Amino acid sequence: WCHWCQKLAPVWEKAATQIKDKHPGNDLMLAKVDCTHPDSESLCVKYRIDAFPSILVFRKDDTGKSHHESYHGERSVPAITAWAEHFVAQARKEIPKTRTVDSNRDGTLDSHGAVGCMISGLLHVQRAPGMLVIQANSEAHEFNWETMDVSHTVNHLSFGPFLSEQAWQVLPAHIAASVGALDDKAFTSDQHIPTTHEHYVKVVKHEVTPPASWRAQTVTSYGYVVHSNNIQKVGEVPTVRLNYDILPIVVQFTEKKQALYHFITQLCAIIGGVFTVAGIVASGTDKAVAMMAKKQELGKLG
């Protein structure tokens, strides 16, 4: 059913034959598995194979927790055999063992042990509600959406211009925390259950004016609050959706240093209040003592 698997099959057979003829020992074996066959379906699920075709490296010294390298190079007999030669050389200790291979030394790795992908960049968006959708797509693979895993970690997400080091020092702690509210947050999908992660973001503009004594300019930042949900639905293509809404309001935060006379006025008010209360207590105490003494004179006490 997979068009790309059908195209790779004869190339893979020829490459396997060449490797076997050149290296008849057990240093390297090229094998294939049909993930659509009932006997091998559990194996493909175990190793989270959801893109077809996938070429993985299995080593004799791999443990249960090992990440198997994936081949991302050209799907041709010369490219695959040149890539495979590296593993023969590693097995014979002719070159150092490594899990990253660049057979033609063009700066692009043919295989590596990394899991997933990294997305980074800048987007220019309108000041209106919108949605950012992240979904697996390839011009050379077919996907099994039932096992697709879109677990992800948000290293950084912010709106507006990048802030300088001085600007970060000006921002109050609660506003600085809202600038990257999703930073370093991890979102995990349940195994074997197609899961879509949806994030709802409300963005608010802040203008922070520091005290005049700081000699710093007003800092403009965009903070946001976020609510995240998981959607698990049969037939749903697993994606990551970021819904954002830039609110048409501005929160102004101004910090002013209190003048000395304000402090003196407040201090005098506190001292005056203490004396007033002490006077009331003393007056009440004197009256009570005088009343007790008068009752004692009249013999009415005890």
Tokens matching residue 228: 């995240």
Quote the radius of gyration of the chain (alpha carbons, Å).
35
Tokens matching residue 244: 């954002």
DSSP state at residue 100: -
Residues 6 or more apart from 94 whose CB is under 8 A from it? Answer: none
Give which of 203, 156, 215, 200 is closest to 182, Cα–Cα.
156
In one-letter notation, the amino acid at residue 241 is: R
Q: Give the side-chain half-sphere CA count within 13 A for 59.
A: 19
Of all residues in the chain, what percent are helix, strand and coil, respectively (each to 5)?
30, 20, 45
Contact 83/101 with Cβ under 8 angstroms? Answer: yes
Catalytic residue among 2, 35, 44, 268: 2
**2 carries an active-site annotation:** yes
Q: Which residues are catalytic?
A: 2
